[in-house]
């Protein structure tokens, strides 16, 4: 059996999901893209957090969630309208709730009154939304007024629950019965909405003694009766001890579809002496706090199983997920990696066999290869997670930043559903947070400055994710002032990060902000000046096998691009050969491979050559030059050109000696042993036990560009990466 | 006197942690045959194939909530008399009233202790042995 601690952990995992649902829902609603179902979903999320928190004994959490829930309930019932002010409080409360969840999770003591401010704001809304809203909000939680005693009347036999039908409200415990006169005239809509008056009357009868008189005056002659029209009205006298609300509830779903009046016949009998204190909750004020007319509009989604699209999507998720420990999936991933290596070994062995044996074995082996690939893909997709889970934390961050800086900031997000390995998603949060902080703090201008610069008062930060060329690219773009290159250069010189007399291009200056020890903040602000610089961001991304690039335009804004691998464990690779050296190139970055004729290659100034490919000139990059290894090919016509596409969409042709084939490779990091090697992403082990380096295609194109700089032409960049 | 060990109880809640917690409490009471469903619809399907002695259901769930489940159970000839305990939040009197009208056998306010759970179960199906 799971231990209590494990259960708590599960509860908090659920909370994170619920908090996300809540936050997404609120944001959708605020932007006007939400529906009634969204309101219900948000309500349900908070309700579930409250329920779980109660069970696990997180009192502070329960208390706050309860007030929050009550407010959401008013929103749900339309008694509190969805104004911007209301959203401000709701969003603030959602932040507070996730704080409280976080504190409860970490076991941090929640200071008394921690949530008070927020709570008061919520209570104020309640005051506005529901006059006299004390409707049981602080109810002790017991309903002794309702008699639930009926124990199996049918006897003590375990199997026999015969006769336990019970009508609890017809209790005679209290002499607090009240008489009501109810007139009820269904309209045609009611039947059309599939509501049956008979059931309603039956339900009413369940509340107490009911005296029913049918008004048949509207009944036409038999020949004129339309079966879908209601003709009968009823006048009922109900004597009950159920609260007025219970009567309203009976008519809850039809209140707009009928003429209805519910009148108390006489003042309630003196009930002060009633033994149960709970009766006091049903003071006239509380009872009338939910007049029939108010409960008319929304019906809780929960009561409508079919729901709308929001509900349906939610349901889908609910019905088809199961919780698996991440360690278990990781074990499978590792096993698949080993399996791929073993399969490659098997392939080698098969090749060495006689033709006859080989043929039948190869067929089987092909199947194994096929299945392994599918296995790998399914396992990888198990680890994959939409980046949205990180993105969703950003709106809150932006709200806080906006509040602290006094700048108006709008956050736009796109591509949240892009999936990437879970480890990457988890480790994206810090870099993204930092970049967005930077944008808000340094990039975006104050509203006044923006207006003066002819921009809109509100600054925009655009956060987008997309899959491109076997990588996921995340872009953080703001429309702020861009990087102040003079200031950056001055700072860099002050800190001796560059030579005093250096001349740098604008781009180069911008990239200085990635240097360790660089911080441009004139004053250490609360936001970005936390000792974490862009160098750490770059380091984090590089640790994930990714790259950071930056573009800035003075006065127009800045774009930071993070390019990340989709997975960290296995990939499809093309095995290539240059001289005696074997490398692996990610399949995803290969556009096509070709044998060019010598007539198609051109030598242009400062390049080793260009290739004319269907009328387009593509720059050639010789792997032998970059890595300073000896090529066996004599001239371009004996080589193979692999056309590849870098993350920015630029094409170039990588010149190698030979293609050796396509295979799955297991990625093994070499960084721990060798550090970052430009142009090399990782290593892999082949079936024969040999190690090959996996190329970092994007970096190769950069390296070649550097290599083409006048004066650099002959310098190998990665001499150290190859045994020479 | 129903034997706890022989009792078949279905827990209906959309939250895994709450289901587990309830299961744990039931097991502490000696109830070993505990089944789980994530929502009313699933529960209804389960109840129609699996003989049960008691349903303990949450109210707030997607797909089909506890009240709808209760009504469906009461309207289903095969399981019409199945004892049903509804889990509710604090102060949800309206819900309890509605559930009572729909024929619930008892309710249980979350959070609950082992003692209250036992009490409520015993009120519904008799003293556990």
Q: Which residue has the higher pLDDT, A582 or A468?
A: A582
- Which residues of A fall within a CB distance of 8 Å from B20? 2, 7, 10
Beta-sheet strands, E only, within A415-503: 419-421, 459-468, 471-478
Minimal Cβ distance to A48: which of B3, B60, B111: B60
Over range A435-462, report the average pLDDT: 89
pLDDT given at position B85: 93
pLDDT given at position A461: 93
ipTM entry: 0.71
The answer to whether A302 touches B60, Cβ cutoff 8 Å, is: yes
> Between A and B, how many CB-CB pairs are < 8 A?
171
Contacts of B65 (CB under 8 A, 6+ apart): A300, A302, A303, B40, B59
Q: How far apart are CA A513 and CA A95, in angstroms?
A: 32
Separation in Å, CA of A97 to nearest CA in chain B: 18
pLDDT given at position A113: 77
Kindly report, residue by residue over A572-609, the tens digit of the pLDDT: 789 999 988 999 998 877 888 888 776 677 766 555 67
According to CATH, the topology of domain A388-565 is Heat Shock Protein 90 (3.30.565)
Kindly report, residue by residue over A326-343, the tens digit of the pLDDT: 788 878 887 888 888 888
* Residue ranges per structural domain of chain B: 4-125
Superfamily name with CATH number, domain B4-125: Response regulator (3.40.50.2300)
Separation in Å, CA of A96 to nearest CA in chain B: 21
Kindly report, residue by residue over A139-188, the tens digit of the pLDDT: 444 555 555 544 343 333 333 333 334 333 333 333 467 888 888 888 88
The pair of structure tokens assigned to A130 is: 């529901």
Q: Which residue has the higher pLDDT, A255 or B87?
A: B87
Q: Which residue has the higher pLDDT, A431 or B2?
A: A431
- Which residues of B fall within a CB distance of 8 Å from A142? 109
Indicate if the pLDDT at residue A325 is higher than 90: no
Residue carrying the six token digits 């789980």: B36
- Which residues of B fall within a CB distance of 8 Å from A11? 15, 17-18
Q: Can you list the pairs that A392-396 forms with residues at least 24 positions away whose Cβ atoms lie under 8 Å?
A: A392/A20, A392/A23, A392/A24, A392/A416, A393/A429, A393/A433, A394/A432, A394/A433, A394/A436, A394/A463, A395/A23, A395/A27, A396/A23, A396/A91, A396/A94, A396/A95, A396/A98
pLDDT given at position A389: 82
For residue B124, give the chain A residue with the closest CA.
Answer: A151
Q: How confident is the model at residue A718 (pLDDT cuts 50, 70, 90)?
A: very low
pLDDT given at position A722: 38
Whether B62 and A44 lie within 8 Å, measured CB to CB: yes
Top CATH class of A4-138 equals mainly alpha
Peptide bond into B111 cis (omega under 30): yes
CATH architecture label of A570-721: Roll (2.30)
Q: How confident is the model at residue A519 (pLDDT cuts 50, 70, 90)?
A: low
Q: Which residue has the higher pLDDT, A655 or A7?
A: A655
pLDDT given at position B15: 85
Whether A168 and B109 lie within 8 Å, measured CB to CB: no
Over range A665-670, report the average pLDDT: 78
Does the pTM surpass 0.80? The reply is: no
pLDDT given at position A147: 55
Q: Can you list the pairs that A541-550 forms with residues at least 24 positions away whose Cβ atoms lie under 8 Å?
A: A541/A431, A542/A676, A543/A427, A543/A671, A544/A423, A544/A424, A544/A427, A544/A428, A544/A568, A545/A681, A545/A682, A546/A424, A546/A471, A547/A647, A547/A698, A547/A699, A548/A514, A549/A648, A550/A510, A550/A511, A550/A513, A550/A514
- Which residues of B fall within a CB distance of 8 Å from A46? none
Q: How confident is the model at residue A289 (pLDDT cuts 50, 70, 90)?
A: very low
In whole numbers, what is the pLDDT of chain A averaged over residues?
75
Report the residue of A161, A167, A199, A292 to disrupt the B interface, i.e. the one with the largest count of B CBs within 10 Å.
A161
Kindly report, residue by residue over A32-45, the tens digit of the pLDDT: 887 888 888 898 88
* Residue of A623, A624, A723, A622 whose CA lies nearest to A674: A723
pLDDT given at position A464: 93
Whether A158 and B110 lie within 8 Å, measured CB to CB: no
Contacts of B62 (CB under 8 A, 6+ apart): A44, A302, A307, A311, A314, A315, A318, B14, B39
Query: Which portions of chain B are predicted below pLDDT 70?
Result: 1, 90-91
Minimal Cβ distance to A7: which of B21, B89, B104: B21
| Residue A213 backbone dihedrals phi, psi, to 5 degrees | -125, 125
List the CATH code of the domain at A176-269+281-300. 3.30.70
Report the residue of A138, A164, A240 to disrupt the B interface, i.e. the one with the largest count of B CBs within 10 Å.
A164
- Which residues of B fall within a CB distance of 8 Å from A283? none
Among A414-423, A610-619, A671-680, the range of highest mean pLDDT:
A414-423
pLDDT given at position A474: 92
Kindly report, residue by residue over A213-231, the tens digit of the pLDDT: 888 888 887 777 777 788 8
Of the candidate ranges A2-16, A430-444, A522-536, the one whose mean pLDDT is the lowest:
A522-536
pLDDT given at position B90: 66
pLDDT given at position A145: 52
Minimal Cβ distance to B2: which of A142, A158, A207: A158
Whether A158 and B6 lie within 8 Å, measured CB to CB: yes
* Residue ranges per structural domain of chain A: 4-138, 176-269+281-300, 388-565, 570-721
pLDDT given at position A427: 84
Indicate if the pLDDT at residue A713 is higher than 80: no
pLDDT given at position A155: 36
- Which residues of A fall within a CB distance of 8 Å from B86? none
Kindly report, residue by residue over A485-514, the tens digit of the pLDDT: 888 888 888 888 788 888 888 888 888 888
Whether B81 and A11 lie within 8 Å, measured CB to CB: no
Over range A632-646, report the average pLDDT: 81
- Which residues of B fall within a CB distance of 8 Å from A169? 97, 100-101
Kindly report, residue by residue over A265-285, the tens digit of the pLDDT: 765 444 444 444 444 444 444
pLDDT given at position A523: 44
pLDDT given at position A463: 93
Whether B61 and A246 lie within 8 Å, measured CB to CB: no
């Amino acid at each position: 059996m799971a231990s209590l601690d494990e259960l708590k952990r599960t509860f908090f995992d659920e909370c994170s999901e619920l908090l996300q649902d809540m936050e997404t829902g609120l944001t959708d609603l605020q932007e006007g893209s939400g529906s009634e179902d969204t309101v219900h979903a948000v309500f349900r999320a908070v309700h579930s957090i409250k329920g779980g928190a109660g069970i696990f004994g997180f009192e502070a959490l329960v208390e706050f969630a309860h007030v929050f829930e009550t407010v959401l309930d008013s929103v749900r019932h339309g008694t509190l309208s969805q104004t911007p002010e209301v959203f401000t409080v709701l969003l603030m409360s959602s932040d507070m709730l996730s704080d409280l969840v976080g504190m409860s999770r970490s076991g941090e003591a929640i200071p008394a009154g921690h949530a008070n401010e927020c709570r008061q704001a919520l209570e104020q809304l309640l005051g506005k939304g529901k006059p006299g809203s004390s409707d049981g909000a602080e109810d002790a939680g017991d309903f002794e007024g309702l008699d639930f005693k009926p124990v199996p009347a049918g006897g003590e036999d375990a199997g026999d629950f015969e006769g336990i039908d019970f009508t609890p409200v017809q209790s005679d415990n209290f002499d607090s019965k009240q008489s009501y006169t109810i007139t009820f005239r269904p309209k045609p809509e009611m039947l059309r909405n599939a509501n049956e008056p008979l059931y309603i009357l039956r339900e009413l009868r369940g509340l107490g003694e009911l005296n029913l008189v049918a008004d048949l005056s509207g009944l036409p002659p038999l020949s004129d009766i339309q079966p879908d029209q209601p003709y009968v009205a009823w006048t009922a006298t109900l004597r009950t001890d159920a609260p007025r609300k219970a009567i309203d509830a009976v008519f809850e779903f039809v209140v707009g579809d009928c003429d209805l009046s519910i009148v108390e016949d006489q003042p309630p009998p003196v009930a002060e002496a009633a033994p149960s204190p709970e009766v006091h909750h049903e003071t006239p004020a509380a009872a009338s706090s939910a007049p029939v007319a108010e409960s008319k509009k929304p019906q809780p989604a929960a009561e409508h199983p079919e729901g709308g699209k929001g509900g349906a999507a939610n349901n889908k998720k609910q019905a088809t997920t199961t919780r698996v420990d991440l360690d278990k999936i990781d074990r499978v991933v590792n096993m698949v990696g080993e399996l791929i290596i073993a399969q490659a070994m098997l392939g080698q062995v098969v090749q060495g066999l006689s033709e006859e044996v080989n043929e039948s074995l190869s067929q089987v082996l092909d199947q194994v290869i096929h299945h392994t690939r599918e296995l790998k893909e399914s396992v990888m997709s198990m680890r994959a997670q939409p980046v949205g889970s990180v993105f969703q934390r950003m709106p809150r961050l932006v709200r806080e930043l906006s509040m602290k800086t006094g700048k108006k900031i709008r956050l736009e997000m796109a591509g949240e559903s892009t999936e990437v390995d879970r480890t990457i998603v988890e480790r994206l949060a810090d870099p993204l947070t930092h970049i967005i902080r930077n944008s808000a703090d340094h990039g975006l201008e104050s509203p006044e400055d923006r207006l003066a610069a002819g921009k809109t008062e509100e600054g925009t930060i655009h956060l987008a994710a997309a899959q491109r060329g076997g990588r996921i690219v995340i872009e953080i773009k703001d429309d702020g002032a861009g990087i102040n290159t003079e200031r950056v250069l001055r700072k860099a010189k002050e800190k001796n990060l560059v030579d005093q007399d250096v001349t740098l291009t604008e781009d180069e200056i911008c990239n200085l902000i990635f240097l360790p020890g660089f911080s441009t903040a004139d004053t250490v602000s609360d936001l970005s000046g936390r000792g974490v610089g862009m160098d750490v961001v770059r380091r984090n991304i590089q640790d994930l096998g990714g790259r950071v690039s930056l573009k800035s335009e003075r006065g127009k804004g800045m774009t930071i691009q993070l390019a990340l691998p989709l997975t960290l464990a296995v990939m499809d690779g093309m095995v290539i050969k240059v001289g005696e050296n074997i490398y692996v190139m990610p399949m995803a970055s290969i556009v096509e491979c070709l044998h060019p004729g010598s007539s198609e290659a051109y030598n242009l100034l400062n390049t080793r050559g260009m290739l004319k490919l269907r009328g387009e000139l593509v720059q050639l990059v010789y792997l032998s030059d970059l890595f300073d290894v000896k090529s066996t090919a004599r001239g371009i016509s004996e080589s193979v050109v692999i056309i590849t596409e870098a993350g920015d969409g630029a094409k170039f042709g990588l010149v190698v000696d030979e293609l050796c084939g396509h295979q799955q490779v297991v990625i093994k990091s070499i960084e721990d042993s060798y550090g970052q090697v430009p142009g090399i992403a990782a290593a892999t082990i082949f079936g024969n036990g040999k190690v090959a380096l996996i190329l970092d295609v994007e970096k190769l194109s950069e390296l070649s560009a550097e290599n083409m700089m006048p004066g650099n032409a002959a310098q190998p960049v990665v001499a150290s990466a190859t045994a020479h | 006197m129903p034997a706890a060990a022989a009792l078949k109880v279905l827990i209906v809640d959309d939250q895994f942690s709450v289901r587990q917690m309830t299961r744990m409490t039931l097991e502490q009471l000696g109830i070993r045959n505990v089944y789980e469903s994530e929502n009313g619809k699933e529960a209804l399907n389960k109840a129609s194939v699996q003989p049960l002695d008691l349903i303990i259901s949450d109210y707030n769930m997607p797909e089909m909530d506890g009240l709808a489940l209760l009504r469906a159970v009461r309207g289903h000839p095969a399981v019409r008399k199945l004892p049903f305990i509804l889990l509710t939040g604090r102060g949800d009197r309206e819900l309890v009233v509605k559930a009572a009208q729909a024929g619930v056998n008892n309710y249980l306010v979350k959070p609950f202790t082992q003692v209250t759970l036992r009490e409520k179960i015993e009120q519904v199906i008799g003293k556990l042995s």
